[in-house]
Chain A
């Protein structure tokens, strides 16, 4: 933008001198904030514990090895619960997310007021973490798998609906126009013009969220909402470290398998 005429012809620079100084000033401020924050944290840290940390970590690590493989017999049921929480939660979320997404997308919403409500549902669902949903639902439904499933479902509605409505807004309008021009009714326009265009997006979102939910549902047991987290919590509380390492191993394997499955499914759809 800035052009400086010199004797050797025009010189071009990316920024004006003023802009360049402003950027340097910005870096200086960032540095000052970092230094100040570091100082505050240092003041409140008990350095003895930090120095001790490697030894403590090594200690816990040694207590965790070897994992208690015999404990596996007690883990099959909770890991099955965990998978069910994730899968059912995702299904519930998708069923609710579809109408919400169509109501939220600018090109399919029946009315701006409906759109506002749909956007509110999305924001409300997304702003609360599934662990917090679970915490509240355990009070309502009592501890167990049901609370966990609904918590996962509620948290996922917003995620799925948001991505889906963005997908709906990005469709090619001429394809819809062509269907409309044949004399198709509103619902037919949806089925022939819009749904085929967003179907891959929908499937991709569903698998992606299922993948995330498997990881999220492993910790829901910490607040009593069922699944393998319940065992994890119990094992930590009783200082049964070999069981803890076994559980972490199982969670790791489950997540790896779910990653693999979702990658395969997504590859097949797109």
Chain B
């Protein structure tokens, strides 16, 4: 379970990215975090694993307070949180297998990782995950040889091999085509179900957010302005989050999608 209490972040430039966010995510819940660019979505998930240091408030993973951990304990806590990135953030010149195994860095010592001597159990798990996402045959390819969708699958494996309690997912589909976007979102969703994982997914695409999450949180200028069911996103709510715009088309499309999905 992840719990944020009045989480604040003010950048050195004076921009207040988060103005005291309170949020509680129970185990196994997948939430979509929506909001306009600059609302603080990326900052929020980076404050959880402290790639960005929050300037106020508290964050708890289970009963561990993340916000006051020493660097060695922070490493341990980070290894329990998998992160997936918009531009995949694979190490381009390493192989797919090395990229997946890098998810275990929080658990193995320096020299073992330097000589790429990962425990047999980790290697087997890596193969299992690659097989699960359909990339078994790509294991020895270099990451820069892969297509966008394939890279994101590798990114997912790297996060999952950490055996995390929580996934932090930053715009997983922003660089992908519509079809691949859905496949990736479906895959993330399925994997979260299989493993009972909690996840925060930052996402621009309202439609995808509604299709693939159990709960939607709307962020605007560093504050939560909506927290509820995906089908509670009415034009009024979207106007509240994003500002004035004709939202009917978006909503209608959602209905069509749902019908299509249910027919299929």
A residues near B, CB below 8 A?
172, 174-175, 177-185, 187-188, 191-193, 196-197, 199-200
Residues of chain A within 8 A of B81, CB atoms compared: 181
B105 near A175 with CB under 8 A, answer no
Q: Interface digits, B31-57 against A, CB 8 Å rule (1 contact, 0 not)? A: 000000000000000000101000000
Could you tell me the distance in whole angstroms from the C-beta of B69 to the nearest C-beta in chain A? 11
11 example contacts (A-B, Cβ-Cβ < 8 A) are as follows A177-B51, A177-B89, A178-B90, A180-B78, A181-B81, A182-B162, A183-B77, A191-B110, A192-B113, A196-B91, A196-B94
Residues of chain B within 8 A of A188, CB atoms compared: 105, 110, 113
B93 near A178 with CB under 8 A, answer no
Given contact pairs A178-B89, A197-B91, A197-B92, A185 touches B51 in the complex (Cβ within 8 A):
no
B89 near A182 with CB under 8 A, answer no
List 5 A-B pairs, minimum CB-CB distance, nearest first. A183-B106, A183-B79, A178-B89, A184-B105, A183-B78
Distance in angstroms between the alpha carbons of A183 and B158 in the assembled complex? 12
Checking B87, B105, B114 against A183 with a beta-carbon cut-off of 8 angstroms, the contacting residue is B105
A179 near B102 with CB under 8 A, answer yes
Q: Interface digits, B144-161 against A, CB 8 Å rule (1 contact, 0 not)? A: 000000000001001000
Checking B75, B79, B89 against A174 with a beta-carbon cut-off of 8 angstroms, the contacting residue is B89
Given contact pairs A177-B51, A192-B94, A184 touches B87 in the complex (Cβ within 8 A):
no
What is the size, in residues, of chain B's interface with A at 8 Å between Cβ atoms? Answer: 33
Residues of chain B within 8 A of A192, CB atoms compared: 91, 94, 98, 102, 105, 113
B91 near A180 with CB under 8 A, answer no
B residues near A, CB below 8 A?
49, 51, 75-83, 85, 87, 89-94, 98, 102-107, 110, 113-114, 155, 158, 162, 168
Distance in angstroms between the alpha carbons of A191 and B79 in the assembled complex? 18
Given contacts A175-B92, A181-B168, A184-B75, 20 further A-B contacts (CB under 8 A): A172-B92, A174-B85, A175-B89, A175-B90, A178-B91, A181-B78, A182-B78, A182-B82, A182-B103, A182-B104, A183-B75, A183-B105, A185-B110, A188-B110, A191-B110, A192-B91, A192-B94, A196-B91, A196-B93, A196-B94
B75 near A193 with CB under 8 A, answer no
Distance in angstroms between the alpha carbons of A183 and B83 in the assembled complex? 11
A180 near B102 with CB under 8 A, answer no
Given contact pairs A180-B51, A184-B105, A192-B102, A174 touches B87 in the complex (Cβ within 8 A):
yes
Residues of chain B within 8 A of A185, CB atoms compared: 75, 105, 110
A179 near B105 with CB under 8 A, answer yes
Residues of chain A within 8 A of B92, CB atoms compared: 172, 175, 196-197
Residues of chain B within 8 A of A179, CB atoms compared: 91, 102, 105
Residues of chain B within 8 A of A174, CB atoms compared: 85, 87, 89
A193 near B91 with CB under 8 A, answer yes
Given contact pairs A175-B89, A192-B102, A196-B94, A181 touches B49 in the complex (Cβ within 8 A):
yes
Distance in angstroms between the alpha carbons of A159 and B205 in the assembled complex? 49
Q: Which of B77, B90, B91 is most buried by chain A, counting CB atoms within 10 A of its CB?
A: B91
Closest residue on chain B to residue A177 by CB atoms: B51
Could you tell me the distance in whole angstroms from the C-beta of B221 to the nearest C-beta in chain A? 25
Q: Which of B82, B93, B158 is most buried by chain A, counting CB atoms within 10 A of its CB?
A: B93
Q: Which of A178, A196, A200 is most buried by chain B, counting CB atoms within 10 A of its CB?
A: A178
Checking A175, A180, A183 against B162 with a beta-carbon cut-off of 8 angstroms, the contacting residue is A183
Residues of chain A within 8 A of B158, CB atoms compared: 178, 182
Closest residue on chain B to residue A197 by CB atoms: B93
Closest residue on chain A to residue B162 by CB atoms: A182
Distance in angstroms between the alpha carbons of A177 and B106 in the assembled complex? 14
Given contact pairs A191-B114, A196-B94, A197-B92, A181 touches B76 in the complex (Cβ within 8 A):
no
Distance in angstroms between the alpha carbons of A172 and B92 in the assembled complex? 10
Distance in angstroms between the alpha carbons of A252 and B163 in the assembled complex? 61
Closest residue on chain B to residue A189 by CB atoms: B105
Distance in angstroms between the alpha carbons of A187 and B87 in the assembled complex? 24
Distance in angstroms between the alpha carbons of A200 and B104 in the assembled complex? 25
B106 near A182 with CB under 8 A, answer yes
Residues of chain A within 8 A of B110, CB atoms compared: 185, 187-188, 191
Residues of chain B within 8 A of A172, CB atoms compared: 92
